[in-house]
Amino acid sequence: MDEVAEARALLRDAGRVAVLTGAGISTASGIGDYRGPQGRWTLDPDAERVSTLSWYLNDPDVRAKAWRFRAESPVYDAQPNDAHRALVGLEQGARLTGLVTQNTDGLHQLAGSNPELVIELHGNSRTWRCERCRATGEMTEMIRRVRAGETDPRCPYDGGIVRATTILFEENLDPANIDAAVAAVEEADVLLVIGTSLTVHPAAGLVPYAHRRGTALIIVNAEPTDYDALAHSVHRSPIVEVIPALLN
């Protein structure tokens, strides 16, 4: 039995499955990663400042750069790919304990995944929030303003600084989301890891935690990870090919 067939059988026979996804699942949808060989932070280390809270709040030039990135980002025009869509099938028969994602692009929900099962550790870039009055809205509203010429669009209600509803550096993750991610792993027989380098914690810590609990691990990622040795099977082929092959 080849590795794909073996992993497919493991997933088919599992009563409950948890999923952890990273940027790699969205690259086929035209959204680049951050830490890969061609990642934004790899090619432009200064770009990391736009994701750091103190820089964003205190430096208008950093905010302007952040808004340029958003206005040029393919996220808002991106569509789910075959890998996103294949994961929806895991919800049949209540097999999916949770879809934990490090991504902020919202493509899992657009593919049809139940929002109640999607655990967004780093937030969602499709909405904005005012830092002063906490008002929120659709990010496309702000993107239209930037494309019309505004460099640092402010809250339409009180003029406060506006940001995406994502977790920035210097901020803590939502404890409720961390607890939900841990619970999803605890309830699963198999943890399917897709498109993540497993270098960012606490998400990466779910993998050794699952292994210690005796949960079977399947890792699908273009590059090696520090936890490949713990996995029952590791797959390097394109995610949009491997995930449908494993789940359909």
Which residues are known to be catalytic?
122
* Residue type for position 143: I
Task: Quote the DSSP letter at residue 52.
Answer: B
Identify whether the C-beta of residue 20 lies closer than 8 Å to the C-beta of residue 191.
yes
Helix axes 3-13, 239-247, angle to 10 degrees: 50
| Cβ within 8 Å of residue 187, ≥6 positions away | 16, 18, 97, 98
What gap in Å lies between CA 24 and CA 31, rounded to an integer?
9
Phi, psi dihedrals of residue 206, rounded to the nearest 5°: -65, -30
